[in-house]
């Protein structure tokens, strides 16, 4: 007989063994398991409490755990900083004026014209300023564009530039505009004349604000139309940039009254009174998107001339209250300004056009069926050939439908005008720490995740809500284990404050730590963006501990103070870091004081991250910019990045090139809830998908470059020290002599300088505008793109021939360059093997195309600068005819070489930083972001096309000229 007790005991022992084996196999600690259990219970409770129908509420409930951390207790919760939520939820908060103590320092507020007395004071000061500037006595600091115009030696600030059909733009603005911005103003004027709405979609940082202000100022200065110029208008903008508009208006168009309809505005009293006053004086109401919801009834009770939506993609979701309300405004003119007209899906484009050109894209249902669906379908990598062909044709049709009402220029297209410094953008795949890995795995095995992946859904809860919560939890772990553990903890007392948020416990923070330390030494200033306020607090604590001086901007900083905070950072180089949430600090603002950007965590919406990084790389930036997007390797963050790439592809297909090819397939639900191990090459999924874009580092060369740079710096330092000594000696001598010589009156000095400014020695100024507005008749549809004009007039085969010629010429030039650089290439080849010997770094195969690209410097292409070309007569003469020409070429070549060397060093700087990170194994691999989203390739093609087009234009001109 079998002893039942013995049998049971043996079974129990076996079961225990199995369990132990299993737990050994899943490699997850007890701490991780209990944290996952705890959090699963808590999340289930919070889901039960919230409405199951509303997944958004559920995810917010979860988010609360994070924002309730002790270190953030002084912060006010705000929808602006919705942590980790898909970004279709927008900033809608009407925030009270609260600022952390650190942000209060040195911050001077910008005052709008809501209060009539302060408006009158400002106008009086401005008029006094004009008088003072005209008589050479201006000493104030309230500089406006017209005063600067006088100080620059121009006598009459009333001079105007007249466009066709009578729009008069003050010269002090017109002369400041870049050529492409002038085209933008003309385009706005064309739209105005045909009563059409439009979308100014220039890439971020190209001065959409200034183009709109120049145009409005033109209207205000011209007696035209039923309003006799500019009528009362509304500008809707995100809270963070509302005061940026005020300061831009005060600078460029000082006489206009612009008032902020928001509780931070200077107007005290009834808002209806303010609306009435502004309406009566043809002023401008500046209002936030949340403000439109609040005051829509009062605003809509009057007729307005213009309604302009800055960052108009805020109405991309047609179902939100704000979109619906804004579309009810019946103004004759409607404009949208946004650098990201399409972010996630085609429905967004429909929504924007539904505001400014209702009916153009049909009804929502028809658009989705006939346009959106086939284009999206044809975009997947597994689409059939027919689906692809259909998508291409429909995308082309859609592009040509919207083109007349949308003007979009990229930075690459206008680089010759604006001369932006280099930008290097990379995606760094950071290793998780052991603790993060353990927690991640533990949570993947928890009940919450199991219930999501359960096909039968026997748990009965809405999957979307649970999924959002689970994804947010994983993202917290990727950022820092404590964001998760704090939430999982039952007992807050047990939290070890010493260790809480320590940088060594997070892979990405380890990378940040290394980056900041190197950059501090190199004299760079950094913007750090995170989706999450809790993460910002962890980062803030780190910065405090390390003694880095920083400023921080999130939803808790009052709307009225944000602009001043930004100015403080830009003006004071003592602040090394600017911390901001992506939603608050990433939209519309100018943060050119920094030249390094870290995007700490990716957003589902690529435009949110793109917006953030563009804060530094924009007009006004003097230094080359490096952007690092941090991703935790193998985690949910990689999947988010892959979604970003797909969305990029979709918007490029409509806005840029319908022929764009996709590389990604649809991802599965299971795929989101995995932790991928690197493959045999050490790459995770994304890195191996985009292997061709991998960053190649010659660590030995990087080190050498770095040492050289250091040496240069120390030589420079020595030179500076010697110069200082000399300066001291000279100043001693001067002070000895000073007793003998009469003192120079500083007023006399100033007078002399002013006289020189007012009557400068005669210089022949280069003519900037190639086309005279008064004599050129440019039909409306053609103002959109000069390239299109030529394309329409020039035969296709002729174009192809030109293209071939250009390509041939390029090849020849490149060959020349390659021969020049052969020695260097050899060195590169020999040393590139060094990096393969570093621990934790996978072997890197050199991509010859990448090396070639990095050698090519578009800035030095002599055909690129139309201004120079116009005045360089020597170019039309052969070298043999003009002796000096060779010398000019040589000089140019030297300059070319110098610029190349400089860029090489900049690149070396970045390579050095990366090689350090690789050496520490904190970064697994790195990709070139621009190449991943296909932009680099596109830019290359664009430049080629541009060159061919320019030639075609010249040819057309030559033919016209010859027939005269």
Axis-axis angle for helices 208-220, 242-252 (nearest 10): 50
Which pair of tokens denotes residue 590? 């100018």
C-alpha R_g of the chain:
31
Distance CA 214, CA 208 (A): 10
Site for ligand ATP in 586-615 (CB under 6 A): 588, 590, 614
Minimum CB distance to ligand ATP, residue 598 (Å): 19
- Which residue, 341 or 442, is less far from ligand ATP as judged by CB? 341
Indicate if the alpha-carbon torsion angle 249, 94, 552, 528 is positive or negative.
negative
- Which residue, 588 or 658, is less far from ligand ATP as judged by CB? 588
Distance CA 434, CA 515 (A): 21
* Residue 435 burial class via C-beta count within 10 angstroms: exposed 0-12, middle 13-18, buried 19 and up: buried
Minimum CB distance to ligand ATP, residue 526 (Å): 19
Angle, alpha carbons 950-955-956 (nearest 5°): 100
Report whether 412 contacts 942 (CB < 8 A): yes
- Which residue, 40 or 209, is less far from ligand ATP as judged by CB? 209
- Which residue, 148 or 889, is less far from ligand ATP as judged by CB? 148
Distance CA 649, CA 629 (A): 19
- Which residue, 111 or 237, is less far from ligand ATP as judged by CB? 237
Calculate the alpha carbon distances from 924 to 236, 261, 678 in Å: 43, 49, 9
Distance CA 539, CA 530 (A): 10
* Residue 817 burial class via C-beta count within 10 angstroms: exposed 0-12, middle 13-18, buried 19 and up: middle
- Which residue, 283 or 588, is less far from ligand ATP as judged by CB? 588
Distance CA 388, CA 655 (A): 17
Q: Please name the residue that has the structure tokens 């043996």.
A: 10
Minimum CB distance to ligand ATP, residue 770 (Å): 17
Report whether 282 contacts 309 (CB < 8 A): no
Site for ligand ATP in 156-215 (CB under 6 A): 176-178, 181, 202, 204-210
- Which residue, 318 or 620, is less far from ligand ATP as judged by CB? 620
Minimum CB distance to ligand ATP, residue 339 (Å): 4
**161: phi then psi, degrees, rounded to nearest 5:** -110, 120
Site for ligand ATP in 787-816 (CB under 6 A): none
Report whether 76 contacts 68 (CB < 8 A): no
Minimum CB distance to ligand ATP, residue 149 (Å): 13
Site for ligand ATP in 617-636 (CB under 6 A): 618-620
Minimum CB distance to ligand ATP, residue 132 (Å): 23
Which pair of tokens denotes residue 190? 């064309």
Distance CA 400, CA 791 (A): 14
Site for ligand ATP in 427-466 (CB under 6 A): none
Q: Nearest residue by C-beta to ligand ATP?
A: 207
Minimum CB distance to ligand ATP, residue 419 (Å): 12
Site for ligand ATP in 707-736 (CB under 6 A): none
Minimum CB distance to ligand ATP, residue 311 (Å): 7
Distance CA 850, CA 661 (A): 20
Minimum CB distance to ligand ATP, residue 614 (Å): 6
137 strand-pairing partners: none
Minimum CB distance to ligand ATP, residue 209 (Å): 3
- Which residue, 173 or 477, is less far from ligand ATP as judged by CB? 173
- Which residue, 180 or 440, is less far from ligand ATP as judged by CB? 180
Binding mask 325-364 for ligand ATP (x = CB under 6 A): --------------x-------------------------
Minimum CB distance to ligand ATP, residue 648 (Å): 17
Distance CA 369, CA 373 (A): 6
Q: What DSSP designation does 808 have?
A: H
Minimum CB distance to ligand ATP, residue 619 (Å): 3
- Which residue, 114 or 312, is less far from ligand ATP as judged by CB? 312
Minimum CB distance to ligand ATP, residue 200 (Å): 8
Report whether 597 contacts 626 (CB < 8 A): yes
User: What count of other Cβ atoms lies within 10 Å of the Cβ of residue 319?
Assistant: 10
Q: What DSSP designation does 677 have?
A: P
Q: What DSSP designation does 206 have?
A: S
- Which residue, 442 or 586, is less far from ligand ATP as judged by CB? 586
Report whether 548 contacts 576 (CB < 8 A): yes
- Which residue, 611 or 642, is less far from ligand ATP as judged by CB? 611
Strands (E), 107-217: 160-162, 168-170, 198-200
With contacts defined by CB under 6 A, how many residues of the chain interact with ligand ATP?
Answer: 19
- Which residue, 411 or 639, is less far from ligand ATP as judged by CB? 411
Distance CA 488, CA 38 (A): 6
Helices within 357-410 (DSSP H only): 364-367, 373-379, 385-402
- Which residue, 149 or 367, is less far from ligand ATP as judged by CB? 149
Report whether 631 contacts 474 (CB < 8 A): no
Minimum CB distance to ligand ATP, residue 237 (Å): 9
Minimum CB distance to ligand ATP, residue 233 (Å): 17
Distance CA 353, CA 348 (A): 9
- Which residue, 411 or 643, is less far from ligand ATP as judged by CB? 411
Distance CA 933, CA 221 (A): 44
- Which residue, 178 or 429, is less far from ligand ATP as judged by CB? 178
Report whether 551 contacts 102 (CB < 8 A): yes
- Which residue, 310 or 842, is less far from ligand ATP as judged by CB? 310
Give the distance between the most distant pair of CA atoms in the chain: 125
Minimum CB distance to ligand ATP, residue 402 (Å): 19
Distance CA 572, CA 888 (A): 41
**463: phi then psi, degrees, rounded to nearest 5:** -65, -40
Report whether 580 contacts 553 (CB < 8 A): yes
Distance CA 208, CA 211 (A): 5
Minimum CB distance to ligand ATP, residue 238 (Å): 9
Minimum CB distance to ligand ATP, residue 148 (Å): 11
- Which residue, 181 or 556, is less far from ligand ATP as judged by CB? 181
* Residue 838 burial class via C-beta count within 10 angstroms: exposed 0-12, middle 13-18, buried 19 and up: middle
Interface with ligand ATP (CB under 6 A): 176-178, 181, 202, 204-210, 339, 588, 590, 614, 618-620
């Amino acid at each position: 007989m079998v002893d039942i007790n013995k049998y049971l005991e043996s079974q129990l022992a076996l079961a225990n063994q199995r369990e132990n084996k299993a737990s050994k196999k899943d490699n997850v600690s007890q701490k991780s398991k209990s944290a996952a259990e705890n959090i699963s219970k808590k999340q289930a409770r919070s889901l039960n409490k919230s409405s199951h129908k509303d997944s958004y509420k559920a995810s917010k409930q979860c988010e609360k755990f994070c924002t309730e951390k002790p270190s953030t207790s002084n912060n006010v919760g705000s929808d602006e900083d919705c942590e980790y939520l898909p970004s279709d939820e927008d900033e809608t908060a009407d925030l009270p004026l609260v600022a952390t103590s650190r942000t209060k320092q040195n911050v001077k507020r910008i005052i709008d014209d809501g209060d009539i007395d302060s408006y009158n004071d400002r106008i009086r000061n401005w008029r006094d300023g004009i008088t003072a500037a005209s008589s050479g006595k201006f000493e104030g600091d309230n500089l406006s564009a017209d005063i600067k115009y006088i100080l620059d030696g121009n006598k009459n600030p009333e001079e105007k530039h007249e466009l066709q059909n009578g729009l008069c733009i003050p010269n002090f603005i017109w002369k400041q505009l870049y050529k492409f911005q002038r085209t933008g103003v003309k385009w706005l004027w064309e739209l105005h004349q045909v009563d059409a709405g439009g979308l100014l979609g220039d890439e971020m940082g190209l001065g959409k604000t200034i183009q709109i202000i120049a145009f409005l100022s033109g209207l205000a200065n011209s007696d035209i139309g039923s309003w006799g110029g500019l009528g009362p208008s509304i500008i809707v903008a995100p809270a963070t940039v509302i005061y940026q508009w005020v300061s831009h208006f005060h600078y460029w168009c000082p006489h206009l009254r612009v008032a902020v309809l928001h509780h931070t505005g200077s107007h005290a009293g009834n808002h209806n009174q303010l609306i009435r006053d502004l309406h009566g004086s043809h002023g401008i109401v500046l209002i936030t998107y949340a403000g439109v919801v609040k005051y829509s009834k009062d605003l809509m009770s009057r007729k307005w001339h213009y309604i302009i939506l800055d960052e108009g993609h805020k109405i991309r979701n047609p179902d939100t209250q704000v979109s619906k309300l804004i579309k009810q405004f019946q103004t004759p003119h409607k404009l949208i300004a946004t650098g990201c007209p399409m972010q996630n899906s085609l429905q967004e484009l429909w929504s924007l056009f539904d505001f400014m050109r209702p009916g153009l894209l049909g009804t929502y249902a028809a658009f989705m069926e006939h346009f959106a669906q086939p284009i999206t379908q044809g975009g997947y990598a597994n689409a059939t050939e027919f689906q692809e062909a259909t998508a291409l044709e429909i995308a082309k049709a859609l592009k040509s439908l919207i083109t007349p009402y949308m003007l979009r220029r990229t930075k690459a297209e206008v680089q010759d005008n604006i001369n932006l410094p280099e930008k290097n953008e990379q995606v760094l795949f950071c290793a998780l720490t052991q603790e993060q890995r353990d927690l991640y795995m533990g949570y993947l095995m928890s009940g919450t995740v199991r219930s999501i992946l359960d096909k039968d859904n026997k748990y009965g809860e809405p999957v979307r809500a649970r999924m959002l919560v689970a994804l947010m939890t994983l993202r917290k772990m990727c950022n820092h284990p404590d964001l998760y553990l704090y939430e999982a903890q039952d007992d807050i007392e047990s939290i070890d404050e010493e260790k809480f948020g320590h940088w060594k416990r997070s892979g990405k923070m380890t990378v940040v730590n290394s980056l900041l330390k190197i950059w501090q030494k190199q004299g760079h200033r950094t913007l750090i963006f995170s989706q999450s306020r809790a993460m910002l607090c962890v980062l803030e604590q780190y910065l405090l501990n390390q003694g880095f001086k920083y400023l921080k901007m999130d939803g808790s900083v009052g709307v009225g103070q944000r602009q001043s905070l930004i100015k403080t950072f830009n003006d004071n180089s003592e602040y090394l870091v600017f911390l901001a949430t992506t939603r608050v600090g990433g939209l519309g603002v100018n943060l050119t004081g920094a030249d390094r950007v870290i995007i700490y965590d990716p957003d589902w919406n690529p435009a949110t991250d793109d917006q953030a990084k563009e804060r530094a790389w924009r007009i006004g930036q003097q230094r080359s910019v490096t952007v690092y997007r941090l991703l935790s390797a193998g985690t949910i963050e990689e999947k988010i990045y892959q979604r970003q790439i797909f969305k990029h592809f979709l918007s490029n297909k409509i806005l840029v090139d319908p022929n764009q090819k996709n590389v990604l397939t649809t991802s599965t639900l299971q795929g989101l809830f995995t932790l991928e191990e690197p493959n045999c090459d050490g790459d995770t999924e994304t890195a191996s998908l985009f292997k061709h874009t991998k960053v190649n580092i010659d660590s030995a060369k990087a080190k050498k470059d770095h040492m050289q740079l250091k040496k240069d710096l120390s030589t420079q330092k020595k030179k500076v020290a010697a110069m200082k000594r000399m300066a001291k000696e000279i100043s001693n001598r001067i002070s000895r002599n000073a007793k003998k010589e009469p003192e120079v009156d500083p007023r006399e000095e100033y007078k002399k300088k002013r006289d020189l400014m007012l009557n400068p020695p005669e210089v022949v100024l280069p003519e900037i505008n190639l086309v005279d507005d008064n004599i050129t008749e440019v039909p409306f549809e053609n103002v959109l793109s000069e390239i299109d004009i030529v394309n329409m007039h020039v035969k296709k085969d002729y174009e192809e021939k030109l293209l071939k010629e250009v390509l041939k010429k390029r090849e020849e030039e490149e060959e020349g360059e390659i021969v020049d650089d052969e020695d260097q290439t050899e060195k590169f080849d020999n040393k590139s093997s060094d990096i393969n010997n570093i621990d934790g770094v996978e072997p890197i195969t050199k991509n010859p195309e990448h090396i070639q690209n990095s050698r090519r410097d578009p800035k030095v292409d002599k055909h690129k600068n139309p201004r120079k070309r116009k005045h360089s007569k020597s170019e039309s003469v052969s070298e043999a005819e003009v002796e000096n020409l060779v010398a000019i070429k040589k000089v140019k070549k030297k300059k070319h070489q110098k610029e190349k060397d400089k860029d090489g060093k900049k690149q070396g700087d970045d390579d050095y930083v990366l090689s350090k990170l690789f050496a520490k194994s904190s970064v697994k691999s790195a990709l070139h972001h621009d190449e991943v989203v296909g932009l680099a390739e596109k830019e290359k093609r664009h430049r080629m096309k541009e060159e061919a087009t320019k030639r075609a234009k010249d040819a057309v001109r030559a033919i016209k000229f010859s027939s005269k």
